[in-house]
Amino acid sequence: MKIELASSYGFCFGVKRAIEIAQEHRGSVTYGPLIHNKDEINRLKDGFNIGLVQSLEEMEKDSTVVIRTHGIPKNELTMLKEKDHKIIDATCPYVTTPQNIVQNMSEEGYSIVIFGDKDHPEIKGVVSYAKDLEDAFIVLKPEELETLPLKAKVAVVSQTTKKPEDFAKIVTALMATRKEIRVFNTICNATFENQDAAADLAKKADVMIIIGGKHSSNTKQLHSIAKRHCIDSYLIENETELEASWLEEKKLCGISAGASTPDWIVQNVIAKIKEMKKVTV
């Protein structure tokens, strides 16, 4: 069996930047998981004494707080500043872009439509920048737009890890009913590259292994795309979840990884596959 890595996979710019920032501040705490990869978070904890807190109440006085790549709600950032914590902002620049757009467009009197998962930390942060939260709406499907009390002027942004074709469906539905639409394509380029590379590889592979956090939106997207072209596609967090049965009678094993997956985990998976099968890489 042969193993082939996708031409683009793994850490994106924002994640690399966040990890470098965290490593420069030993003994700090991250407010929420820095990235969606528990193995990398454990590495930061063990090697750099980077703690993790999930609420403002957990933070000790005078803590150095690293803001996660996905960002946090605006009001929580204000509360952190009021408590005199030292704040290190590791929010991905591709995430601060929709935050700024939402703030500016809402101040100009536009209704805000955000294409994304309402429970995702990135979207919780983005929507909080709207001037009027009752005039900001989070949707996943075009049908959800039908009952929304939107103004004639609408600004629309997307979660950075969503698929462009799905974002286009939201935009098309809005164009049919609103007088003025301002469309901001806030999907990350790294997402495009990883998704396209995973699709290309899945078309020729007879088994695909997608590596990344089970709660990572972009990793789940990769798995969905791979499975569309290769039915035997599996999502794992690390090498311990590999099953030898997946590789039986396979000739080409394709591998891709989410934007929060470090290369050391990818290499561990490759090593484990080598133990299971006679392979070439």
Active site residues: 122
Instruction: Tell me the CA distances in angstroms from 160 to 63, 131, 246, 257, one per residue in order.
Output: 30, 21, 31, 17
Instruction: Tell me the CA distances in angstroms from 6 to 106, 161, 194, 233, one per residue in order.
Output: 40, 18, 8, 14
Within 8 A by CB and 6+ apart from 114, the residues are 98, 102, 123, 126, 127, 136, 137, 138, 139, 156, 157, 158, 159
CB 102 within 8 A of CB 111: no
Query: Positive or negative, the Cα torsion across 49, 53, 58, 62?
Result: positive
Instruction: Give the span between the Cα atoms of 118 and 23, in whole angstroms.
Output: 30
Report which of 151, 254, 239, 257 is spatially closest to residue 205, judged by C-alpha positions: 254
